[in-house]
Amino acid sequence: MTLSVTLAFIAGALIILSRQINGRLAQSTSAMESSFWNHIVGLAALTLFAIIFGGLFTQGAKDAPWWAYLGGIFGVMFIASGSWLIARIGAANTTIMIIAGQMISGVAFDIVMGTAGNLWARVIGVALIFVGMWFATNKR
């Protein structure tokens, strides 16, 4: 348990480390170029991992709908905007606003799709996030 908690924590820190490194690259190049390098280097690393440890392909993968293969398009925009933002509003502001956006859009998406959920948790969670965003964006 200690190992998995430590790893989950490190995984979170690595997301920020990655954004910082990409942000540094974007300062010398461009946000989109840093996103390109992030993806191709990450692809190489994951390919190496798959070659050594396996676990990449399974029988069912070809049954997935075609559009499920296109998530990378969102990833490219996401990495590019993160690289651009970090030099402008810093790591913490970037992180909390991304988390806020992900959480609120996630709830909205679930409601639109009719996914069952705990109503009170949704109301309280979204309200807390809005208060937090008010603190983040209103700085005299």
Partner 1 sequence: MTSRPFHFLIAFASGCLLTFMLLFNGTLAIYGTLLLSSWVPHATGTVAALLILLVLRPKRASLQSPPLWSYLGGISGALTVVATSYTMNTALAISGTIAIGLAGQLIFSVIADARGMFGFTKRLPTMRDILAIVFITAGALVLILFGAAP
Which residues within the stretch 86-115 sit at the binding site for partner 1 (CB under 8 A)? 86-107, 109, 115
Which residues within the stretch 10-29 sit at the binding site for partner 1 (CB under 8 A)? 10-29
DSSP assigned state of 66: G
Asked if 74 interacts with partner 1 (CB under 8 A), we say yes
Which residues within the stretch 44-63 sit at the binding site for partner 1 (CB under 8 A)? 44-47, 49-50, 55-58, 60-63
Smallest gap from Cβ 59 to partner 1, in A, equals 9
Smallest gap from Cβ 115 to partner 1, in A, equals 8
Tokens (6 digits) for 96:
């909390």
The full DSSP string for 1-38 is -HHHHHHHHHHHHHHHHHHHHHHHHHHHS-HHHHHHHH
Asked if 71 interacts with partner 1 (CB under 8 A), we say yes
58's torsion region: left (phi>0), alpha (psi -120 to 50) or beta?
Answer: beta
CA-to-CA distance for 91 and 130, rounded, in angstroms? 20
Smallest gap from Cβ 50 to partner 1, in A, equals 6
- Chain Cα centroid distance, residue 34: 16
Tokens (6 digits) for 114:
């009719």
Asked if 127 interacts with partner 1 (CB under 8 A), we say yes
Asked if 72 interacts with partner 1 (CB under 8 A), we say yes
Q: Which of 51, 52, 114, 116 binds partner 1 (CB under 8 A)?
A: 116
